[in-house]
C-alpha cells in the first residue's frame, strides 16, 4: 500500500523519521521541548548530542528537556546508534514512543473515502476505504459514512476509538481550517457546515479539517520531497486545479481560509465558462470536466449522452496515444494553459520546487517536456537556475496520510504545551 512512497522514505516514520527536516526561521518559535520532540521525530532516531547541536542549546538543557519528555512517556531511549569507536557501550539514542498517541487521517471524496491510522512517530498502522454514495448529500449522511470508515480502519488496526487522540480530515471545496467550517463542498448539500462541532458531538474527539490540496501539501512536507525544501508549491490537477503553498516549512493558508484557488485565476478575458460561473478560469481549460467537454466532440460522442468524465478522459487519452491528432491537440492545448498557470506561480512566489501531484497524473501530455519548456519560456529567470518541477503520482492513500499530519501537528502541539485551535 505504501510502496509508492518508498523511493523517498524507506521506512516512513521509522529510522528516517517524518515531518519537516529544516528548522523554521519564524519568530513565533515553538516551545523548546516541542522543538526537541519534533527534531527527534524528524530524524527518526537522535543522540542527545545531535539535539544539542541541531537546536543550538546547552548539553544541560538537552538532558533536562529529554528527561522531561521521557518521563512524560513521549520519548524513549534505544541502543540504536552505531559505535563511533570499537569499544565501550553503544551510544544511546532517543526516539518517539510510537504508541504514545494515535491519530486517524481521512480524505473525503466523491468517489472513495479513505482513512489511515497512524502512530505518534508518523508511521501508518492501518488503512481502509469506503465507496462514497453518489451525488450531493447531507452532513448526516457524510457523518454516517465517516463512522463506517473509522470502524473499518479501527478493525484493521485491532484498536478502539478510545485509543485515538484526534482525526485530521481533507475535504474538497472551500474549507476554513481555523473555524472547522466547510463553506462549500461539491458533495455537500448544505453550505457553511460547522463540521468540527458536529464531529465532536458524534465521536467525542477533536477533528482538524482542511482543503484537500492543503492536506496533500502537508503529505509532501511531512513524508515527501518537501521535507528538505523550505519553500515549495504543490499543484493538483483533478476535478479542479488546486494549489498548496509551503513557506518557511509551514503551510500558508491565507487570511480568510479560502485556499489558494489557482484553478480560478483568469488566463483569458471573456474566455471559456468555468463551473464557478465566471469566464476564463485556468480550470475551464485544464480540469477533468473541461477536457471531457472537448473529448465529446473529438471522439464523436453525443454530448447529451451522460458519461463519466473519467471514462471519457481515459478514452481520449487512449486515442491520443494511438495517434489521433484531434485528441492530441486537446491535451497539448491544456498543457499550454498549464504552462501559463505554472509560470505565473513561479513569477509570484519563486518557489524552490513545484510538485505536480494527485491521482490523475497519468495524462503525461499535460506535463510533457514541451509544457515545461514553455513554462520556462514564459518566466523571467535571467541568470537564475530555472525552477524545478517534479511529478508525483502517489496512490490514493497519500491524501489520508497527509490528513494524519494535520492531526499529528495538532496533537503534538497539545501534548507539548502549545495551545492551538
Taking the complex as a whole, how short is the minimal distance between the CB of residue 277 and Zn ion, in angstroms? 7
Instruction: Give the residues across from 245 on adjacent strands.
Output: 233
Q: Which is nearer to Zn ion, 222 or 285 (CB)?
A: 285
SS3 309: helix
Residue with cell 523511493: 7
Taking the complex as a whole, how short is the minimal distance between the CB of residue 37 and Zn ion, in angstroms? 42
Q: Which is nearer to Zn ion, 281 or 416 (CB)?
A: 281
Taking the complex as a whole, how short is the minimal distance between the CB of residue 41 and Zn ion, in angstroms? 39
Decide: 225 and 389 in contact? Cβ < 8 Å: no
Q: Which is nearer to Zn ion, 118 or 239 (CB)?
A: 239
Taking the complex as a whole, how short is the minimal distance between the CB of residue 242 and Zn ion, in angstroms? 12
Decide: 404 and 168 in contact? Cβ < 8 Å: yes
Residues that bind Zn ion (CB under 5 A): 264, 274, 276, 278, 281
Q: How many CB atoms lie within 10 A of CB 161?
A: 14
Taking the complex as a whole, how short is the minimal distance between the CB of residue 174 and Zn ion, in angstroms? 12
The Cα 105–Cα 103 span in angstroms is 7
The Cα 76–Cα 35 span in angstroms is 16
Q: Which is nearer to Zn ion, 262 or 330 (CB)?
A: 262
The Cα 91–Cα 83 span in angstroms is 6
Decide: 217 and 246 in contact? Cβ < 8 Å: yes
The Cα 355–Cα 353 span in angstroms is 6
Q: Which is nearer to Zn ion, 264 or 332 (CB)?
A: 264
Taking the complex as a whole, how short is the minimal distance between the CB of residue 77 and Zn ion, in angstroms? 54
Q: Which is nearer to Zn ion, 74 or 274 (CB)?
A: 274
Amino acid at each position: 500500500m505504501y510502496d509508492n512512497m518508498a523511493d523517498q522514505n524507506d521506512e516512513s516514520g521509522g529510522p528516517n523519521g517524518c515531518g519537516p527536516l529544516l528548522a523554521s526561521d519564524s519568530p513565533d518559535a515553538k516551545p523548546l521541548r516541542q522543538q526537541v520532540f519534533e527534531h527527534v521525530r524528524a530524524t527518526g532516531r537522535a543522540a542527545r548530542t545531535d539535539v544539542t547541536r541541531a537546536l543550538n542549546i546547552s548539553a544541560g538543557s538537552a538532558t533536562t528537556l529529554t528527561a522531561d519528555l521521557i518521563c512524560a512517556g513521549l520519548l524513549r531511549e534505544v541502543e540504536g546508534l552505531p559505535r563511533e569507536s570499537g569499544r565501550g557501550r553503544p551510544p544511546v539514542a532517543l526516539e518517539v514512543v510510537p504508541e504514545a498517541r494515535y491519530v486517524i487521517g481521512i480524505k473525503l471524496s466523491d468517489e472513495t473515502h479513505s482513512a489511515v491510522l497512524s502512530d505518534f512517530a508518523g508511521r501508518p498502522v492501518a488503512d481502509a476505504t469506503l465507496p462514497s454514495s453518489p451525488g450531493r448529500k447531507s452532513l448526516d449522511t457524510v457523518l454516517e459514512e465517516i463512522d463506517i470508515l473509522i470502524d473499518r480502519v479501527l478493525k484493521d488496526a485491532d484498536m478502539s476509538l478510545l485509543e485515538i487522540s484526534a482525526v485530521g480530515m481533507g475535504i474538497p471545496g472551500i474549507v476554513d481550517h481555523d473555524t472547522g467550517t466547510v463553506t462549500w463542498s461539491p458533495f455537500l448539500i448544505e453550505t457553511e457546515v460547522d463540521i468540527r462541532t458536529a464531529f465532536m458531538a458524534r465521536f467525542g474527539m477533536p477533528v482538524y479539517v482542511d482543503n484537500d490540496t492543503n492536506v496533500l501539501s502537508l503529505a509532501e512536507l511531512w513524508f515527501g520531497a518537501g521535507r528538505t525544501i523550505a519553500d515549495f508549491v504543490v499543484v493538483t490537477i483533478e476535478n479542479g486545479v488546486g494549489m498548496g503553498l509551503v513557506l518557511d516549512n509551514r503551510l500558508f493558508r491565507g487570511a480568510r481560509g479560502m485556499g489558494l484557488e489557482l484553478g480560478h485565476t483568469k488566463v483569458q478575458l471573456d474566455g471559456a465558462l468555468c463551473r464557478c460561473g465566471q469566464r476564463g478560469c485556468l480550470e475551464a481549460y485544464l480540469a477533468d470536466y473541461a477536457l471531457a467537454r472537448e473529448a465529446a466532440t473529438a471522439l464523436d460522442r453525443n454530448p447529451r449522452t451522460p458519461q463519466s468524465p473519467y471514462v471519457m478522459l481515459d478514452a481520449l487519452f487512449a486515442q491520443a496515444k494511438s495517434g489521433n491528432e484531434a485528441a492530441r491537440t486537446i491535451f497539448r492545448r491544456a498543457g499550454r494553459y498549464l504552462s501559463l498557470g505554472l509560470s505565473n506561480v513561479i513569477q509570484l512566489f519563486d518557489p524552490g520546487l513545484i510538485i505536480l501531484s494527485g491521482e490523475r497524473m497519468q495524462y503525461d501530455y499535460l506535463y510533457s517536456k514541451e509544457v515545461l519548456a514553455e513554462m520556462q519560456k514564459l518566466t523571467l529567470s535571467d541568470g537564475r537556475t530555472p525552477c524545478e518541477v517534479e511529478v508525483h503520482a502517489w496512490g490514493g492513500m497519500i491524501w489520508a496520510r497527509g490528513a494524519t499530519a494535520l492531526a499529528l501537528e495538532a496533537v503534538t502541539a497539545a501534548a507539548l504545551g502549545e495551545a492551538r485551535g
